Amino acid sequence: MNTMYQKRRADLVTWMARKSISVVLLEDTEGRREKAIRYFSGHPGDALLAITVTGHAVLCPWDINLAERMSDVDVVIPYSDFGRHPVTAAAGIIESIGVPANSRIEIPGHTPYPLFLQYVGTLLEHVVLCRETEGVFEEISRMRSIKDESEIAIIESACALTDTIINLLEKQIRSGKIKTELDAAMFIEHTARESGADGTGFETLAAGSDRSYSIHPVPAYTNAKIGTTGLSILDFGIMIGGYTSDVTLTLACGKINPTQEKLIGLVEKAYAAAILKYTPGTLTREASLAADAVFKRSKKSMPHALGHGIGLEPHEGPAIRNRIENEWVFEPGMVVTLEPGLYDPLHGGCRLENDILITEEGNRVLTNSRIIRI
């Protein structure tokens, strides 16, 4: 019986055959990260992966011990066998599997131009393709945007633990045990790992009332107070099995002034308007425009996208934004965020973000992030 990795590769091979692509090369290296290697092989990263139109998968990992434990491929060849250089490794793999001359070889679209020239100069008998659009990596992005049952199950478990941590955070903040941004960030990390998670899916953003005016505060968290009078924001994700959740909750503490109440009310209204558009067959841009319309009536605007897909990465397809060129459509199996937010330089910010599964019937909210009044 085929494994989920073999099935994913088979789906890609079908596309490759239609487009006359003989070999797809994936590279996950420092500065050129590509989670598609884990998606197609199970190997966590730091490797090259060649997928052929005949259905073969050859992995060339940095860590051979890890690859032998975690990867599901046909052949594993140590990266050190090729002098630890991607072009040499690619050429060696292509020669070893007997790819016919004049074959079309596609490499990652983010490959730097000087490295692309090395591929072209080395693979002289073949046609080297490097495309950001309309190529194999656009197809891989589409494939990864629609989660299969195993992926959905893992994400659901990450979301369930995320909800548990949100509830614990609220109790700890109310009781005064969590006093600072640092306390909150460390509590999230510690609780996640203590519960068996991989850890956090990205660096936690914790901003007290003096720093919540920023979409992504710099630094991500400090030893400043959190949960004091005003608006504080916590943005975090929990990773299990390589897949992450992504939520943001706002703490409305003490006496909230009229401007802050307005920010909260508008964010909640924008959330309610946009979620009605999170349905299969709807352009993701329409959801963003629905939120924009709420803000526009109060002469406000949101300085970031309404949402994005989540999975092996905290940000992946589909994009949920108002740009005219955005042609993504909600499809069953997508797991996406909904995160309207407004930010005031004097009164602080408010953002509400949850993770949502698009279903055949509409959607299902997987997390219970919220505006917490303390």
| CATH number, domain containing residue 128 | 3.40.350.10
Please tell me whether residues 251 and 307 are part of one structural domain.
Answer: yes
Residue 133 pLDDT > 90, yes or no?
no
Domain extent, residue 222, equals 146-373
Query: What's the pLDDT at 2?
Result: 72
Determine the average pLDDT of the residues in 54-62.
95
Q: What is the pTM of this model?
A: 0.95
Nearest C-alpha neighbor of 178 from the set 208, 142, 149, 153: 208
Three-state DSSP at 48 gives: strand
Determine the average pLDDT of the residues in 335-343.
98
Please tell me whether residues 169 and 274 are part of one structural domain.
Answer: yes
- DSSP character at residue 99: P
Please tell me whether residues 220 and 309 are part of one structural domain.
Answer: yes
Please tell me whether residues 44 and 178 are part of one structural domain.
Answer: no
**pLDDT, averaged across the chain:** 96
Torsions phi, psi of 332, nearest 5? -55, 135
Nearest C-alpha neighbor of 81 from the set 97, 99, 98, 62: 62
Please tell me whether residues 209 and 309 are part of one structural domain.
Answer: yes
Q: How many residues does the chain have?
A: 374
CATH for 245 = 3.90.230.10
Element spanning 128, H or E:
strand 127-130
Question: Of the candidates 144, 171, 187, which is a domain's last residue?
Answer: 144
Structural domain count, the chain: 2
Question: Of the candidates 144, 164, 189, which is a domain's last residue?
Answer: 144
Please tell me whether residues 118 and 207 are part of one structural domain.
Answer: no
Q: What percent of the chain has pLDDT over 70?
A: 100
Please tell me whether residues 66 and 186 are part of one structural domain.
Answer: no
Q: What percent of the chain has pLDDT over 90?
A: 97
CA distance 283 to 36: 25
Question: Of the candidates 144, 168, 202, which is a domain's last residue?
Answer: 144
Burial of 345 (0-12, 13-18, 19+ CB in 10 A): exposed
Please tell me whether residues 163 and 240 are part of one structural domain.
Answer: yes
CA distance 97 to 280: 42
Please tell me whether residues 79 and 105 are part of one structural domain.
Answer: yes
The pLDDT-based confidence of 1 (bands split at 50, 70, 90) is: very low
187-228 pLDDT per residue, tens: 999 999 999 999 999 999 999 999 999 999 999 999 999 999
Residue 358 pLDDT > 70, yes or no?
yes
